[in-house]
Amino acid sequence: REAPYLFMDPAGQYFVMVPDLQMDGPAGITWGDKPTPGKAIPLDQFFIAHPDKDNAASINAALNLGKNILFTPGIYHLETSINISRPDTVVFGLGYPTLVPETGHPAMVVSDVDGIKLSGILFEAGKIDSPTLLQIGDSRASTSHATNPIFLYDIFCRAGGAAAGSTHTFVDINSNNVVGDNSWLWRADHGKGAHWTSNKNANGLIVNGNDVTFYGLFVEHCQEYQTIWNGNGGRVYFYQSEMPYDPPSQEAWSHDKTRGYASYKVNDAVTQHEAWGLGVYCVFTSAPVISDSAIETPLAPGVKMHHMVTLRFGGLANSGINHVINNDGAAVITQRIAKVN
């Protein structure tokens, strides 16, 4: 399903077009030689949110009345979570509106229901540590959404960079059949609040649901695993990840007798998972640290990883990544070279 978009009809009326779901259809755009098939939702079915006058309470009240949400640009400081619970709700952002949780809660919680669509939103960690910024379903989620998936379009997250902020995880996906289309989940390596102890963030994405798919997943600088995949049937088409620049020591960035953390971790219990085009990079600037592997997966016939690459862009000598996947693949570690006069 292509992302929703705003348009004006010949009479000057605004609508949000929600393109139709396609199953095993042709690749590429749908609007090359004819209009995109889909449903045009009149703008009066949307609550138009403004950062200078709206908060979680007013947005949740509109959602409870059956409205979709259109966020205008700006920064929304949220006193509690925005709760999306009605099937097929559209939450649409113009100009990447920024949602900031201020009291240690998730910025947005999506119920385990069919067809919810989130598009064009930036979630930013607040000063009080949140368990996650975006939660899709909860630990009880078990419904199949195969015929009407939950979609996440252009969903970005950050901790630090604009201001100090912390969250354990950027995005938690507990529901089945979620589709992500372009997500960048970023712990800041520069800017305000960018320091090992000030913008704390363990993981970028944790997937517990089954049959979750991502097209274009970018996860960077988290302090432990960047991505953890616990559900079966996951698929990723293009993964880009840079490890944190700033582990203060190897001791601080190790676990279970393993140096560092892999970027992409598939749980040992997973039997079906497939990914294409994975790049994991490193630039360690605070201490000479090593990650033993960029990617960790179980050795199961149904777990297939295609076209993987690691690269050391720079950083301190005697730092880098020792293996591409598990214990395989050459190291990218630059040794210190003594000068000879």
**Residue pointed to by tokens 């432990």:** 224
Residue closest to 307 by CA, chosen among 269, 326, 271, 280: 280
**Residue pointed to by tokens 């190790």:** 254
* Percentage helix, strand, coil for the chain under 3-state DSSP, each rounded to 5: 5, 45, 50
Longest dimension (CA), the chain: 80
C-alpha torsion angle, residues 259, 264, 269, 275 (rounded to 10): -150
Contact between 296 and 310 (Cβ < 8 Å) = no
Establish whether 2 is a catalytic residue. Answer: no
Question: Cα dist. 309→32, 193, 220, 264 in Å?
Answer: 34, 31, 16, 12
Structure tokens at 298: 């179980």
Contact between 336 and 317 (Cβ < 8 Å) = yes
Given the residues 102, 242, 251, 296, select the one marked as catalytic: 242
Residue closest to 299 by CA, chosen among 259, 258, 270, 277: 270
Contact between 50 and 72 (Cβ < 8 Å) = yes
**How far, rounded to the nearest angstrom, does the alpha carbon of residue 150 sit from its chain's CA centroid?**
14
Residue 19 burial (CB count, 10 A): 17
Contact between 37 and 19 (Cβ < 8 Å) = yes
Question: Cα dist. 290→35, 118, 281, 294 in Å?
Answer: 52, 37, 12, 10
Three-state secondary-structure class, residue 127: coil
Residues that are catalytic: 242
